[in-house]
C-alpha cells in the first residue's frame, strides 16, 4: 500500500479514512485531527493554561506531547494512587517522559491525602474502581481550580467515548447523556474539562505513540477486574469493520443532535449542588463522596 499523500510506502493503514500513510504524513494527519477536534468544539485557545491528566498510558502522554508541539501552554498532573508494585512504575514512566521533553509536572500523592487506594479498598465493601475514579476526578478538578488552570485535558479517545456513549444509551442514562462530550464547560466549583483526542481511535493514538517513541505503561492495575467497556469496544470494532467511519459518525451525530435534547431535559430536572461542608467541592449531599471516603479510611485506621 502507498501513502495517500506522498506515495511513499505506507506504514499505517486506516480503513475508516480509506487511506494509508507513511510515518511523516500520518503524524501530520494526527495533528490535523487534534486541531480539528479542538477548533470544531471550541475546546480552548492558545491563551488557555491547560492541565493535562497523565495516567502513564499512551493516550495521555500522546496528548501532552501533541498539544505542546502545537504550541499550547501545558502542565502535566499525575495522581499517585499509592498502589504497591504498580504506582511507582507508572509514576516513573510519567516522570521520565516529562523530564525528557522538559514538561512541567505536578504530582499528587494519595497516601499523603489519607486516600491510598489499598486503604480505601480495604475499607469499602463495593468495587474499588468507582471510588478510585471518583478520587482521581476530584483531585484533577481541585488541582486545576487551586492552581488557576483554565482547562483540564484528559486523553480519552474516540473508542473510549463511543463505548461510554453506547453504555449510557443502552441504559438510557439521561443524566450522563446530557453532559457527555469533548467539552464540559466550567461552572461553580468545576473546572472546564476537555478531550482533544475525541476524533482519534485507540489504534491511531497507539501508532502516534509508537512513531514518536513514547515509552508508556503496559502493566494493568492489580485491582482491575478487566478493562471497562471491553465488550462494547469489541462490538464497535466489528461494526466499524463492516461500516468504516461509523464510529465517528455516531459520536458526532450525538454531539449535534442527541446531547442538546438531553441537556435541555436535564436542565429542567437536574438536582441542585452545594459546596461540601468539609472541603467546598460541589455535592448534592452535605459532605462530598471523597470526604466521606477519607473519613471512613481514617476511622478504619484508628
Contacts with Zn ion by CB under 5 A lie at 3, 5-6, 8, 22, 25, 276, 278-279, 281, 288, 291
The reply on whether position 133 binds ligand SF4 by CB under 6 A is yes
For residue 149, the 8-state DSSP code is: -
Rounded to 10 degrees, the C-alpha dihedral 183/246/170/202 comes to -60
DSSP H helical ranges for the chain: 23-40, 58-69, 87-101, 117-123, 128-146, 158-170, 174-179, 202-211, 230-242, 246-253, 259-269, 289-301
The reply on whether position 92 binds ligand SF4 by CB under 6 A is no
**Alpha-carbon separation of residue 52 from 93, 143, 196 (angstroms):** 15, 11, 11
The residue within the footprint of ligand SF4, chosen from 223, 233, 235, 263 (CB under 6 A), is 223
Residue 206 site contact among ligand SF4, Zn ion, none (CB < 5 to 8 Å, cut-off depends on kind): none
CA pair distance 106, 79, nearest whole angstrom: 9
Q: How many residues does the chain have?
A: 302
CA pair distance 89, 51, nearest whole angstrom: 22
Which of 196, 160, 183 shows the shortest CA–CA distance to 65?
196
The reply on whether position 224 binds ligand SF4 by CB under 6 A is yes
Nearest distance from C-beta of residue 117 to ligand SF4, angstroms: 6
Report the residue number, 160 or 240, with the smaller CB distance to ligand SF4: 160
Report the residue number, 80 or 161, with the smaller CB distance to ligand SF4: 80
Kindly indicate which of the ranges 102-110, 125-133, 177-185, 190-198 contains the residues binding ligand SF4, using the contact rule CB under 6 A: 125-133
Nearest distance from C-beta of residue 116 to ligand SF4, angstroms: 12
The reply on whether position 284 binds ligand SF4 by CB under 6 A is no
The reply on whether position 93 binds ligand SF4 by CB under 6 A is no
Residue 211 site contact among Zn ion, ligand SF4, none (CB < 5 to 8 Å, cut-off depends on kind): none
The reply on whether position 229 binds ligand SF4 by CB under 6 A is no
CA pair distance 109, 136, nearest whole angstrom: 11
What residue ranges bind ligand SF4 (CB under 6 A)? 81, 117, 128-129, 132-133, 221, 223-224
Amino acid at each position: 500500500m502507498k501513502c495517500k499523500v506522498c506515495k511513499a510506502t505506507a506504514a499505517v493503514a486506516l480503513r475508516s479514512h480509506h487511506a494509508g500513510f507513511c510515518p511523516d504524513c500520518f503524524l501530520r494527519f494526527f495533528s490535523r485531527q487534534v486541531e480539528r477536534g479542538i477548533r470544531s468544539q471550541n475546546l480552548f485557545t492558545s491563551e488557555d493554561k491547560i492541565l493535562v491528566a497523565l495516567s502513564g498510558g499512551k493516550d495521555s502522554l500522546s496528548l501532552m506531547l501533541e498539544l505542546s508541539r502545537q504550541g499550547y501552554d501545558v502542565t502535566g498532573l499525575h495522581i499517585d494512587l499509592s498502589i504497591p508494585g504498580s504506582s511507582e512504575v507508572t509514576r516513573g514512566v510519567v516522570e521520565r517522559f516529562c523530564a525528557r521533553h522538559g514538561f512541567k509536572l505536578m504530582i499528587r500523592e494519595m497516601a499523603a491525602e489519607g486516600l491510598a487506594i489499598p486503604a480505601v479498598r480495604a475499607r469499602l465493601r463495593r468495587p474499588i474502581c468507582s471510588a478510585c475514579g471518583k478520587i482521581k476526578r476530584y483531585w484533577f478538578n481541585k488541582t486545576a481550580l487551586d492552581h488557576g488552570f483554565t482547562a483540564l485535558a484528559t486523553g480519552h479517545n474516540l473508542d473510549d467515548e463511543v463505548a461510554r456513549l453506547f453504555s449510557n444509551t443502552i441504559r438510557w442514562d439521561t443524566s450522563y447523556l446530557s453532559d457527555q462530550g469533548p467539552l464540559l464547560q466550567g461552572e461553580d466549583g468545576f473546572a472546564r474539562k476537555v478531550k482533544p483526542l475525541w476524533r482519534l481511535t485507540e489504534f491511531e493514538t497507539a501508532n502516534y505513540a509508537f512513531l514518536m517513541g513514547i515509552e508508556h505503561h503496559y502493566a494493568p492495575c492489580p485491582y482491575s477486574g478487566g478493562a471497562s467497556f471491553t465488550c462494547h469496544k469489541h462490538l464497535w470494532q466489528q461494526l466499524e469493520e463492516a461500516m468504516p467511519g461509523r464510529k465517528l459518525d455516531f459520536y458526532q451525530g450525538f454531539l449535534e443532535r442527541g446531547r442538546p435534547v438531553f441537556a435541555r431535559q436535564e436542565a429542567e430536572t437536574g438536582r441542585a449542588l452545594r459546596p461540601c461542608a468539609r472541603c467546598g467541592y460541589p455535592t448534592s449531599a452535605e459532605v462530598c463522596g471523597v470526604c466521606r471516603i477519607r473519613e471512613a479510611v481514617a476511622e478504619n485506621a484508628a
